Structure 1
């Protein structure tokens, strides 16, 4: 294995042990120097779950918890589950299953409430929510924001971070204010698939060199991710599991040692309360 001499965390990727590469992707990550993972459950419909109630999401969450346990046998560090309801579900419910926006909101909030149980029980470290990154009706947008705000409330109640999938933007100040208003520190809110600059919440930066250079220059807390989707039907989509370790190696060559520590040690501690150094084995 390639030892980069530092914890190396991918803040957001998916693992599908039944349909995708699963643990083989974890092995690729580890061989490349990766040590820690935050594994986000795949969207429920991609795992064949057509939820009718909050409890129906348990199958989705249990799949992620199980694969994380097995990933821990491979990693020099460890993995943690991030559980929640993908914001794109609102369109699946409204457009394909004839839910009203309010009905979709209620089901998605119920799913998040179940995910929060896993966090409270120590089975997951954070929640995942957000709002559509594509155009929707005003009613669906309002319902989606209600779901997002419930996720922030649940994060405050359980004392955990919330990862968000949102529209492309470099300013989520309003969302950060929503979080603060319910008692969730805005730095505990993470925008996944972020660029190198972001106001309002913590960016989880997609690990291409241009975005990372902007994050380094900004000098603020940030995380690094691939959003690896583990879908055999879309093998070239987003970034592969080797990407974050390879980018850390490149950052070392550029002399970005302080930024590496920010992304892989201090920001995971700040956002999630995770100690990536103490959880690293020889």
Structure 2
């Protein structure tokens, strides 16, 4: 890999205690990775089973701390993305006895807390979405209400909302919901996307055929592994070395423009981060909030 080529994994989870943590970051760097967007693990994976929104602050603080540790090891930078996993609604209903509306209200208040971190520059973006599994109409409607609230917050804060949703190549309705609330659909990122997507910006999982499709399209896209850093499922969903390996493969296939799109142009247009300028400046960024470290 060229030393001046930024390599960004747009969606990775890291666990400071129970799993590989910084070893996974080291693996990423060893193969040529430079930048990370670290999404907080589902709250229940970090020991939070609560109906008090304030209890979720520990999830966010843990994520911010491990992002700071990761940045010290990266040639570039890591940024936190904070919010609620859409599967939380089922846990609240099934395990905590909440109604769909009560669960949605709690999740919206947790998003409000996540938004505080974005507003003061301690996080880069918000995380929301809706279940990727079958739910009844009331849960589906409540989940959509949570997602729409995230769009309102994103519009107010001028920040990205990264989504966990069902598999689809057409999410124009979701993009329209964001647009109606003042959030440019470019700033809505569909995590775990295939190579083709209408509506939000796709964050493409690193399957070669999906990357080939995205590269050929010429449209904005990002690359990710959704590495979950779970000791019970090592390497799931994809290992931390995968994005840099796929960048090498794209280079071999002659997709230099696609590499520039996924790792320089799209991160800048969508998140406002400059992966080139922040490459090799880690010591200057320690102690600064993520929004001060964008490199603009």
User: Do the structures match in fold with TM over 0.5?
Assistant: yes
Q: Which deviates the most, 7-16 or 228-237?
A: 228-237
Report SS of the residue matched to 2:226: coil
Deviations 1:153-195 (A, max 9, x none): 0000111000000001001101111111111100000000000
Q: Secondary structure at the match of 1:229?
A: coil
Query: Which residue pairs with 1:247 in the alignment?
Result: 246
Match runs of 1:132-281 below 5 Å: 132-281=131-280
**Which residue is 1:39 aligned to?**
38
RMSD: 0.9
Is contact 1:53–1:110 with CA below 8 Å preserved after alignment?
no
Check the 8 A contact 1:4/1:249 in 2, yes or no.
Answer: no
1:98 aligns to what?
Answer: 97
The Cα shift of 1:3 comes to 4.4
Contact 1:228 1:239 in 2 (8 A): yes
Partner in structure 1 of residue 124 of structure 2: 125
Q: What are the ranges of 5 or more consecutive residues in structure 2 without an aligned counterpart?
A: 282-296
Most deviating of 266-275 and 233-242: 233-242
* In structure 2, C-alpha distance between the alignment counterparts of 1:274 and 1:23, rounded to whole Å: 23
Contact 2:129–2:163 (8 Å) recurs in 1: yes
Mapped partners of 1:178, 1:145: distance in 2? 10
CA distance in 2, matches of 1:188, 1:61: 21
- Following TM superposition, the consecutive aligned residue runs of length 4 or more in structure 1 with deviations greater than 6 angstroms are none
1:123: how far off? 0.4
Whether the 8 Å contact between 2:227 and 2:235 is mirrored in structure 1 is no
Q: CA deviation at 1:4?
A: 5.2
Q: Deviation at 1:55?
A: 1.4
Aligned partner of residue 72 in structure 2, secondary structure:
coil
- What secondary structure, in the 3-state scheme, does the structure 1 residue paired with 2:162 have? strand
Q: Is the 8 A contact 2:37 2:81 kept in 1?
A: yes
Is the CA contact (8 Å cut-off) linking 1:151 and 1:162 kept in structure 2? yes
- Unaligned stretches of 5+ in structure 1? none
Deviation of the 1:237 alpha carbon: 2.1
1:97 offset after TM fit, Å? 1.4
Q: Which residue of 2 aligns with 1:26?
A: 25
Kept in 2: contact 1:54–1:113 (CA 8 A): no
**Offset, 1:218:** 1.1
CA contact (8 A) 2:53 2:110 kept: yes
SS at match of 2:73: coil
Task: Report how far residue 235 of structure 1 moved.
Answer: 1.2
Distance, in Å, in 2 between the alignment partners of 1:57 and 1:51 is 8
State the secondary structure of the residue aligned to 1:73: helix
Change (3 A) 1:253 1:5: farther
Between Structure 1 and Structure 2, how many residues are aligned?
Answer: 281
1:222-280: per-residue Cα shift (whole Å, max 9, x none)?
00000000001011421000000000011111110000000000000111000001100
